[in-house]
Structure 1
């Protein structure tokens, strides 16, 4: 923890080296590069150049100390935890709530240590750390420093008042200042001291004195206090010396921690690294690799790795690929361990330590400006609208056959069968936590937050959130062949969904004089999420917009990510016109879901949200449906696309392969299963050859390679066995390449949509046959239907009872209400029955 913050003009020399061992240092207007643990102080005359401020923070500055006028310019642009406000005593009253809430600390310049003033400032800045700089010709006394520290404030001293020698009236020994707050209940006055490695792994427990701490700070060597022999300069006789990296007080200032670089055989007198036993995990691996780098015999595998950079490079890439393919927790841990081994081998070969890696991680964490985080072109998956494949550096042999894994169902145990049915684990809790801040911002700040997130995530700077009808002809201009295809798809889908409309009131007389009814009403306001941006997805707009239109929804709100110029693809605009969309929200992701769930100044609030999306969209939908303030429902949970193809001896290998690949190209997490019903090895081989050949002709071959490698062939011996497995799996899409496939549909219990026979590819259902392509995934076909017209309706019941009907029904109700102890319920009937007797 920071209790003492020295102020330096020049970050160099013995004084700086000693001060940097005991905590952060405060530097005045420094130049890059910055030393570690730096705070930056800008005085009243310094210009507030935002680019310079960001550069300091990106290069490792812990915090930036700014005067009031400068702070006002950057608050809201720089994270609160990185800003400290520079004030003098008379300026405190000029601080606004925005400034007070926009900083994490206050550096108070005062001519003397005034504890009442410090207490008053602490109360005003109740959530901020207080730093006190005494602007006097000489340093405060140690007693005054102790009083200041006991108040909870931190001390700032200029380097001109500090020395490496004995304290005087003009300068204080830095060890005296550092140890000012320390206390001990030991009769010998020593301080318990934990000694650890640079990475925080404990080496042992020792004791320190003021004298030993002072020598360690000045020399940078491990020096402690032996309870029997006085000063103990570690390694003086054994050679196992220590270089001190840092000396820190604990939270209540009664013990110390030394972080050191240990040399020689180790810290322990038993010639082990630690007094608490042998090292394990990363410290052991680092020690082992360093030893093997120095002493591994020629011809050993580790020596080959050190001597052959290409071999090491190949192993790192191979293990990275294996980690990407791993699915279970055990597999991921196993493959991650392999990757870390080979990565640390390279680090060792170049003299890079685990501590160096941690320092790099810490420095990255301090960055204020962020790169988009996209993968480099050779590693990224091509986007749906791309025609040409992105060249990729292969992690495995590019000529190796693109094959699925194969298992025989009858040979699997119950546990193994359960694993075949499992989908990738969706960490919905983690994603919901990530989208909460986005949803909250849109809910509270409305359009302003929505426009900010659209600029940040969709890379489109907009002045308005929505487009409202009538839509301009220019925005809907599409090629004539596309228009004809959309029109025909619209007609087919509308015809099928119109046939599903529930327009008939159900009436049942349950007993004489008691008539119960049920009738359907459209959900008034629906929000339809259309994934997009650079991709063109009019098919999803059709699949969601048409049943909403047919059901009679009064408001139909489209939400789709805008293109970089702020426009919406004309194909989606045309569909919005066809289905009568009442608004088009130009936003994607969690922010679009939040806007529709809660409404904003311009975005209409909806009652139910439909549509597929990435994990951010899915998490946001799950979050808002559980918020009673939103009062919104969703269509269904969503996961990666999936298909189960069932094939017997009649199946055309080319057709089967094409159907498998049509789902495999969606993404690397697509779920693809072939259930082979008594197929001969030759027939199965023909299918696999077709998969390999067709895949290589696809623009998205690099995605297909990964998804197919995780895909599965399940060999069964009968149609009954195949259908049983399929019903357990409950696929999103089920394709039947079977003899007399039509007759097998009656045995399908669980599936999102079924495609019957060799000339019914899944693609037709995706686009234009008439059925809906928004379907349950992840096994939810056991409980959920795909989107349909009834999804956009709710059913209301009514009952009408005559006086004679109540005479027959009333006593039954009274008996049951009395049984439950609900007297008012019973009385509502009794009072009516009594009136009939009067």
Structure 2
């Protein structure tokens, strides 16, 4: 039950917003820029001047809004399309009579705006709307709501709407109402001691029954901690002595306003004084399984089965697929229950390893339930095809949910399309990459980022233990220069020599890009404008270290930072299990003059560099590729004004587009395609064939199949290559038109006169010209940078270069005669814009020159 609904009438102070989100739905104007957490109950207010269309309104609901509040003029468009339970009607008192029976039945309540409201009017409104929720927003600015008025409205059955500008966290404010006073005003108690029975729950499971007082409720609301009223000892701040504190997620009242429910996150040993999770006994079922898995993640001995599952993603993936298959084959009630339990065990193991709780899963389910737009619900083609194929062989329906294992004997081949035969819609589909739900990923990384931002080194090292599987970092996650010398037993001399050559080439190319002289232009006599470069002072370089070590990335990011003259260079990379850094990356860090190495990966490394910790320096810009967790964390922190950090570019899976004509060497083309397909199952590989004869295309396909089978990462390519495409075109111009629309990360030209076609390139991260320019050279040692825009961002982003590590500052120097020339122009334009002080700053000088 809602006590009152806060209306965000402007930009609300962050501390106040956090409190308001604990006590029920907040009302957010549709065009508000206020950032609201995705799982906070919220209503979207569409006032008369809102410019959204119906599709955008439905999108707001799909994104998690509980309801939309629409004016009467919108009702005909919304009613019948959006479920009634998701719509409130915005009315003025004078327009109630215009509400039709259809509209009244198509909404779940009303938000009434009126200067003055009394109990009789609310009662009549409730009858008219047949008991639906009546929200009231008094609009008399001279008479803000008081606790007494809130009590009167709630007793009449209305839910007051209070503008956030009228609310405060302070006590004793004259013109504003304390949030705690507003919330507790209508509460009633039928107990002699005036207390309120309070159910405490976590994730929908009851932890215990306690009592609350007005004072304890107010403190809980304002602090976000579980505070109750002991009938013997007064205020009881849960966990104050035991450490088993509670974070309050929400506080609700029941329908009679005489009892409460606290939804909490319980820390420590549990809620009960007997060191149990609940006063009603021990956990069982899913909560017990979750607690057991969390304990085993932290403490399971090496060699145990659960530890193997946590340490071996391939094994865990195989078990999930195996159990899904067995569940789909189960027939009896007992078999289904048994196999479902097994599948849930392994699925929850994966969730625990990723830091996902049952509460996170429940929130995701709640968000899905809020969607108005529904998908058709059809199975994806690979599952349908697998089912059809298995049915033909076995004569029975196979498991639709089990991931099909690629046939080891089937050819590893791409899909082929003829561009001239594609409709515009089909052509657009060929240009698309796999969809990455950025909002969903950002929601997943936000708790990690927030933990590091608020918890510093302690939180960071806990996350390194959880996600990077390194539990030995006890004192500091940072290694400071000078770094130790590496012996030949630590670093292969041949690898050292190769890194040295690559470093020299990359440095030569990037040093040539550095701006060492200022641009100086006299725009008119006596007016000189300049632009000069300065290094970004502090930069963070993210070097992935998941399935492979990447010293090349350390060079590609470190060299331009070194050339640009950045003062602080923090290189972040996941540590090995013993806390050490791979010698190859360590050697590169020494070469590029890194000032520190952060032994952390993933979103936790990005957060540490963005905000800084007790030992990790805060940086001004973060560079480097990474998985979708790293990408989402980079996108999150660059939009946080508390971080004040920028990033190099958005990133996605690796990709290559090869344009080839009849002069190509099929083996070369196949090798270039595979060099990107091996990065991951989501890598993007495209061959654009220019009038290639069928026998040449067949030769390329045969080479792809043969070479892939001989390579160590063939299992990855069995999945990435079938998702990749061959696009047949009839001319070089048609090929480049498609390529420019695709905007690939890497563009390779296997053409008769490849150098002459470079002029046709409009969008690409990096271009590899001719048969002897494999993309691998750009990845490692030719000199160009391999940190490049993906996902089509080559339309508007450049790859990393020396200027990425510099900022440009402009200056102007105007002489007295120059001011006589340009000053009247400036004054005229300032007058035109109504900025008199701007004009005055010029005219006061001009008068002294007369």
Partner residue in 1 for 2:731: 718
Judged with a 3 Å threshold, the aligned counterparts in structure 2 of structure 1 residues 601 and 372 are, in CA distance, closer, same or farther, namely closer
Structure 1 residues 431-480: Cα deviation after superposition (integer angstroms, max 9, x where no partner)? 11111111111111111111111111111120211111111114894111
C-alpha contact 1:539 1:767 (8 A) present in aligned 2: yes
The one of 559, 575, 589 aligned to 1:562: 575
Does 2:829 align with 1:782? no
Partner residue in 1 for 2:383: none
**Matched position secondary structure for 1:824:** helix
Structure 1 residues 57-102: Cα deviation after superposition (integer angstroms, max 9, x where no partner)? 9xx99567799xxxxxxxxxxxxx9x99998845975855475872
CA distance in 2, matches of 1:680, 1:689: 14
CA distance in 2, matches of 1:592, 1:674: 36
C-alpha contact 1:431 1:619 (8 A) present in aligned 2: yes
CA distance in 2, matches of 1:621, 1:128: 27
The one of 452, 455, 478 aligned to 1:466: 478
Partner residue in 1 for 2:434: 424
CA distance in 2, matches of 1:366, 1:668: 23
The one of 346, 366, 389 aligned to 2:329: 346
CA distance in 1, matches of 2:741, 2:349: 49
C-alpha contact 2:571 2:594 (8 A) present in aligned 1: yes
Structure 1 residues 214-236: Cα deviation after superposition (integer angstroms, max 9, x where no partner)? xxxxxxxxxxxxxxxxxxxxxxx
CA distance in 2, matches of 1:66, 1:539: 59
What pairs up with 1:787-802 in 2 under 5 angstroms? 787-802=800-815
Does 2:399 align with 1:399? no
Equivalences, count: 535
CA distance in 2, matches of 1:802, 1:577: 48
Partner residue in 2 for 1:436: 446
Judged with a 3 Å threshold, the aligned counterparts in structure 2 of structure 1 residues 662 and 88 are, in CA distance, closer, same or farther, namely same
- Following superposition, the deviation at residue 699 of structure 1 comes to 1.2
What pairs up with 1:270-349 in 2 under 5 angstroms? 346-349=329-332
Partner residue in 1 for 2:621: 608
Partner residue in 1 for 2:510: 497
Larger radius of gyration between Structure 1 and Structure 2: 1
Structure 1 residues 519-574: Cα deviation after superposition (integer angstroms, max 9, x where no partner)? 11111111000001563211000000000000111111100010000000111111
Partner residue in 2 for 1:832: 845
Task: Give every structure 1 segment of 4 or more consecutive aligned residues whose post-TM-superposition deviation is greater than 6 Å.
Answer: 63-67, 83-88, 125-129, 155-158, 356-369
Partner residue in 2 for 1:445: 455
Judged with a 3 Å threshold, the aligned counterparts in structure 2 of structure 1 residues 345 and 637 are, in CA distance, closer, same or farther, namely closer
CA distance in 2, matches of 1:479, 1:406: 44
Partner residue in 2 for 1:239: none
Judged with a 3 Å threshold, the aligned counterparts in structure 2 of structure 1 residues 344 and 539 are, in CA distance, closer, same or farther, namely closer
Does 2:558 align with 1:551? no
Judged with a 3 Å threshold, the aligned counterparts in structure 2 of structure 1 residues 101 and 827 are, in CA distance, closer, same or farther, namely farther
CA distance in 2, matches of 1:128, 1:695: 50
Partner residue in 1 for 2:702: 689
CA distance in 1, matches of 2:537, 2:640: 20
Partner residue in 2 for 1:11: none
**Matched position secondary structure for 2:807:** strand
Partner residue in 2 for 1:772: 785
- Following superposition, the deviation at residue 816 of structure 1 comes to 0.4
Partner residue in 2 for 1:739: 752
**Matched position secondary structure for 1:437:** helix
C-alpha contact 2:560 2:805 (8 A) present in aligned 1: yes
C-alpha contact 1:648 1:738 (8 A) present in aligned 2: yes
- Unpaired runs of at least 5, structure 1: 2-56, 68-80, 106-118, 134-154, 159-319, 325-338, 375-391
TM-score normalised by structure 1 residue count: 0.59
Partner residue in 1 for 2:245: 102
Structure 1 residues 687-708: Cα deviation after superposition (integer angstroms, max 9, x where no partner)? 1111110011111111101100
CA distance in 2, matches of 1:703, 1:84: 53
Structure 1 residues 354-382: Cα deviation after superposition (integer angstroms, max 9, x where no partner)? 8x8888888999999945799xxxxxxxx
C-alpha contact 1:653 1:690 (8 A) present in aligned 2: yes
- Following superposition, the deviation at residue 672 of structure 1 comes to 0.3
C-alpha contact 1:534 1:563 (8 A) present in aligned 2: no
What pairs up with 1:139-288 in 2 under 5 angstroms? none
Judged with a 3 Å threshold, the aligned counterparts in structure 2 of structure 1 residues 429 and 368 are, in CA distance, closer, same or farther, namely closer
**Matched position secondary structure for 1:708:** helix
The one of 652, 661, 681 aligned to 1:668: 681
CA distance in 2, matches of 1:368, 1:786: 35
**Matched position secondary structure for 2:558:** helix
Structure 1 residues 114-134: Cα deviation after superposition (integer angstroms, max 9, x where no partner)? xxxxx9x989x89799xx99x
C-alpha contact 1:533 1:560 (8 A) present in aligned 2: no
Judged with a 3 Å threshold, the aligned counterparts in structure 2 of structure 1 residues 361 and 770 are, in CA distance, closer, same or farther, namely closer
**CA RMSD of superposed structures (Å):** 4.0
CA distance in 2, matches of 1:752, 1:412: 26
Partner residue in 1 for 2:10: none
Structure 1 residues 757-805: Cα deviation after superposition (integer angstroms, max 9, x where no partner)? 1111100000000000000000000101000011111111100001111
CA distance in 2, matches of 1:157, 1:593: 42
CA distance in 1, matches of 2:348, 2:652: 34
The one of 522, 529, 549 aligned to 1:516: 529
Structure 1 residues 645-668: Cα deviation after superposition (integer angstroms, max 9, x where no partner)? 111111111111111000000000
C-alpha contact 1:597 1:606 (8 A) present in aligned 2: yes
CA distance in 2, matches of 1:814, 1:706: 65
Does 2:601 align with 1:584? no
CA distance in 2, matches of 1:127, 1:684: 62
CA distance in 2, matches of 1:444, 1:465: 16
**Matched position secondary structure for 2:330:** helix
- Following superposition, the deviation at residue 348 of structure 1 comes to 2.4
CA distance in 1, matches of 2:595, 2:630: 22
Partner residue in 1 for 2:110: none
Judged with a 3 Å threshold, the aligned counterparts in structure 2 of structure 1 residues 98 and 766 are, in CA distance, closer, same or farther, namely farther
**Matched position secondary structure for 1:348:** coil
- Following superposition, the deviation at residue 716 of structure 1 comes to 0.7
C-alpha contact 1:533 1:563 (8 A) present in aligned 2: no
Judged with a 3 Å threshold, the aligned counterparts in structure 2 of structure 1 residues 630 and 730 are, in CA distance, closer, same or farther, namely same
Does 2:679 align with 1:654? no
